[in-house]
C-alpha cells in the first residue's frame, strides 16, 4: 500500500477541480465506491455539486488563509492485493484521515479501478467547518508511512517493497551515495555479505573475527569510542554496529574480552583477499565500467589541475591589486596639496578601487564557473543514460535488463 499526499499544481488547485477529477468528466463515472463525511445530503457522486457548495460556504468564512485549502490524499493498493470490501475501504480512509487530524473536516473519497491496481482519491477541505481555522498537518509523510504499514499488517495486504525501508538501516551518507551514483554502497555490501559470514561463524576470539573479515578484504579497527569495518583497499569505513547490534564494541568486548587489533599476518591476508567489495554492479559489463572509471579519473585530474591553476592566478591577481592601490595611496600621501584636495582625491581613489574590486570578483567568479563546467561523466546513472543515447549496445542492454527487472508496481511508484 502506498499512501501519499498529492501536491496540487496551479492548474488543478481547489476542491471543485479535484472533485471533478474524482468523478470523471466522461459520461460513465470513474468511481466504483464513494464516501462523504461531514457533508449533509451528500451520498453519491451525483451530489458532488452540493458538496462543493458546502465546502465553498465554509471556505468563505476564512478570509485569511491562502489558496491552498485542499488536501489531496492518494491510497494505492498492490496489483496482487484482493479487492477491499466497502467496510474495509471506509476503515482505511477514516484511519488515514484521522492520522492527519482531518476527522472533523469535510472530505469525499472515491475508488478508481482504471489502472491495474485499485486506488482511492480523498479530497479534504483543510478549513474546519466549525472553527473555520485551516489545518496543515506537519510531518504528514512520516505519519502516512507508519499508518500504511499498520494497515497492511491489519488487512493482510502486500507489504510495500520500498528501498526507503532498507535505507532506513543505512546511514544518510550511504543512502545519498546510492541515490546519486546508482550503485551499492560499502555499508549495504557489508550488511549483505560480511554480516551473514560473521553470524555463521561461532566467534570465540578476536582472531576469529579478524580471520572472517580478512576473507572479504575488510579490517576491523578502533575508531573513536567504537569499532569500524574498513575496506583494506579503498579505506571506506562503516560503523560495526550498523551491521547489527551484536557487532557493537560493548557487545563484542563483553563476549570476547578487550579488543585486540589484527596482526600483520591478518592484515596481509586482507590485502590478498580475492572476494572483496567492488562498487561495480554485478550485471554491468566490465568494459563499460572501465570506461566510466577512466573518464571519471580524467575529469578529476583535469579539475584538480584547473583548481590549482585558479588558486595560483587568483592569489597573484589579488596581491597585485592590493599592491597597486597601496602604492597609489602612498603617492597620494606624499603630494604637497591641501587637506581638502587630499580628501577629494582619496574619495575618488576609493571609488575606483571599489569598481575594480567588483570587476575582479566577477572575473574570478567566471573562472570558477568555467572550471565547474569542465567535462564530467556525472553519476553512473547519467553515464549509462548518455551512452545509451549515443547507441552504445552495452548501455542499452543494461537499461533493458533493469527495465525487465522492475515490476509494474515499481513503475507506478516511480522508482
Angle formed at CA 264 by CA 259 and CA 267, multiple of 5 degrees? 80
277 part of a folded domain: no
Residues 36, 105 within the same domain: yes
Give 142-194 pLDDT, tens digit per residue.
899 999 999 998 998 887 755 444 444 667 777 766 766 667 788 888 888 89
Q: Is residue 403 part of a domain?
A: yes
Pick from 160, 176, 197: which residue ends a domain? 160
pLDDT of residue 164: 47
Residue 174 lies in a domain: no
d(C-alpha 175, C-alpha 163), whole Å: 10
How does 149-158 read in b/e, with b if 16+ C-beta sit within 10 Å? bebbeebebe
What CA–CA distance (Å, rounded) separates 88 from 169? 32
C-alpha dist (Å) from residue 41 to 48, 59, 94:
10, 18, 19
Q: Judge if 99 and 51 occupy the same domain.
A: yes
Dist. CA 89–CA 33, nearest whole Å = 9
More confident residue, 395 or 309: 309
In a domain, 72, yes or no: yes
pLDDT of residue 273: 85
- Same domain flag for 37 and 130: yes
Could you tell me what percent of the chain has a pLDDT over 70? 89
* Shared domain check, 148 and 18: yes
Q: Report whether pLDDT(128) > 80.
A: yes
User: Residue 173 has which C-alpha cell?
Assistant: 551518507
Q: What is the structure's pLDDT at 29?
A: 66
Chain centroid to CA 232? 29
Residue count of the chain, please give it. Answer: 415
Q: Are residues 322 and 252 in the same domain?
A: no
Give residue-wise pLDDT tens across range 208-228: 999 999 999 999 999 988 999
- Domain boundary residue, one of 241, 272, 303: 272
In sequence order, what DSSP letters do the residues of 145-184 get, joined into one string? HHHHHHHHHHHTPPPP--HHHHHTTS-HHHHHHHHHH-S-
Is there a single domain that holds both residue 213 and residue 75? no
Phi, psi of 280 (to 5 degrees): -70, 130
CATH number, domain containing residue 31: 3.30.930.30
Same domain? For 151 and 26 the reply is yes
SS3 of 380-409: the string is: HHHHHHHHHHCCCHHHHHHHHHHHHHCCHH
In a domain, 172, yes or no: no
Q: Tell me which residue range forms the domain holding 258.
A: 186-272
The total number of structural domains in the chain stands at: 4
Same domain, 405 and 261: no
Among candidate residues 30, 208, 195, 210, the one with its CA nearest the CA of residue 121: 30
Q: Tell me, what's the pLDDT at 354?
A: 95
pLDDT band for position 11 (cuts 50, 70, 90): very low
| Confidence grade of residue 406 (pLDDT, cut at 50, 70, 90) | low
Q: Tell me the C-alpha distance between 66 and 262, whole Å.
A: 64
**Does residue 165 sit within a domain?**
no
Domain closes at, from 126, 160, 194? 160
Collapsing DSSP states into helix, strand and coil, what is residue 320?
helix
Give first-to-last CA distance, the chain, whole Å.
Answer: 15
Residue 208 lies in a domain: yes
What is the pTM for the complete model shown? 0.46
Of the listed ranges 10-14, 335-339, 340-344, the least confidently predicted one is 10-14
Q: Do residues 17 and 152 share a domain? A: yes
Specify the 3-state DSSP secondary structure of 237: strand
**Same domain as 135, residue 9:** yes
* Domain assignment present for 281: no
Same structural domain, 116 and 33: yes
Residue 212 sits in the same domain as residue 319: no
Cα–Cα–Cα angle for 6, 11, 17, rounded to 5 degrees: 75
Per-residue pLDDT tens over the stretch 33-82: 899 999 999 998 889 899 999 999 999 999 888 888 999 999 988 877 88
pLDDT of residue 192: 86
At residue 199, does pLDDT exceed 60? Answer: yes
What is the residue-averaged pLDDT of the chain? 85
Predicted confidence (pLDDT) at residue 411 exceeds the cutoff of 60: no
Amino acid at each position: 500500500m502506498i499512501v501519499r499526499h498529492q501536491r496540487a499544481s496551479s492548474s488543478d488547485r481547489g476542491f471543485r477541480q479535484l472533485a471533478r477529477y474524482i468523478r470523471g468528466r466522461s459520461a460513465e463515472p470513474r468511481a466504483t465506491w464513494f464516501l462523504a463525511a461531514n457533508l449533509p445530503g451528500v451520498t453519491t457522486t451525483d451530489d458532488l455539486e452540493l458538496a462543493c457548495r458546502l465546502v465553498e460556504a465554509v471556505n468563505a468564512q476564512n478570509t485569511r488563509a491562502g489558496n491552498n485549502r485542499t488536501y489531496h490524499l492518494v491510497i494505492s493498493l498492490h496489483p496482487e492485493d484482493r479487492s477491499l470490501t466497502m467496510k474495509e475501504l471506509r476503515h482505511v480512509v477514516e484511519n488515514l484521515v484521522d492520522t492527519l487530524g482531518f476527522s472533523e473536516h469535510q472530505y469525499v473519497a472515491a475508488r478508481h479501478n482504471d489502472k491495474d491496481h485499485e486506488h482511492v482519491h480523498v479530497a479534504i477541505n483543510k478549513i474546519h467547518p466549525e472553527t473555520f481555522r485551516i489545518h496543515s498537518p506537519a510531518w504528514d509523510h512520516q505519519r502516512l508511512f507508519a499508518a500504511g504499514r499498520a494497515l497492511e499488517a491489519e488487512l493482510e495486504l502486500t507489504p510495500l517493497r520500498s528501498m526507503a525501508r532498507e535505507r532506513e538501516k543505512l546511514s544518510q551518507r550511504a543512502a545519498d551515495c546510492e541515490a546519486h551514483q546508482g550503485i551499492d554502497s560499502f555499508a549495504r555490501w557489508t550488511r549483505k555479505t560480511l554480516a551473514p559470514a560473521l553470524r555463521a561463524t561461532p566467534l570465540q576470539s578476536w582472531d576469529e573475527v579478524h580471520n572472517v573479515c580478512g576473507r572479504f578484504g575488510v579490517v576491523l579497527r578502533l575508531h573513536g569510542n567504537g569499532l569500524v569495518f574498513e575496506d583494506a583497499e579503498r579505506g571506506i569505513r562503516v560503523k560495526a554496529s550498523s551491521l547489527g547490534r551484536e557487532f557493537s564494541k560493548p557487545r563484542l568486548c563483553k563476549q570476547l574480552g578487550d579488543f585486540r587489533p589484527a596482526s600483520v599476518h591478518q592484515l596481509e591476508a586482507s590485502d590478498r583477499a580475492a572476494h572483496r567489495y567492488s562498487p561495480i554492479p554485478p550485471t554491468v559489463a566490465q568494459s563499460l565500467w572501465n570506461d566510466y572509471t577512466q573518464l571519471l579519473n580524467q575529469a578529476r585530474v583535469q579539475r584538480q589541475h584547473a583548481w590549482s591553476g585558479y588558486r595560483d592566478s587568483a592569489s597573484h591577481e589579488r596581491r597585485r591589486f592590493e599592491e597597486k592601490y597601496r602604492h597609489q595611496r602612498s603617492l597620494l600621501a606624499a603630494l604637497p596639496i591641501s587637506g581638502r584636495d587630499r580628501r577629494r582625491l582619496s574619495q575618488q581613489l576609493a571609488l575606483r578601487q571599489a569598481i575594480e574590486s567588483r570587476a575582479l570578483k566577477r572575473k574570478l567568479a567566471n573562472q570558477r564557473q568555467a572550471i565547474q563546467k569542465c567535462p564530467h561523466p556525472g553519476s553512473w546513472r547519467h553515464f549509462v543514460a548518455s551512452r545509451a543515447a549515443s547507441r552504445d549496445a552495452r548501455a542499452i542492454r543494461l537499461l533493458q535488463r533493469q527495465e525487465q527487472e522492475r515490476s509494474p508496481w515499481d513503475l507506478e511508484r516511480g522508482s
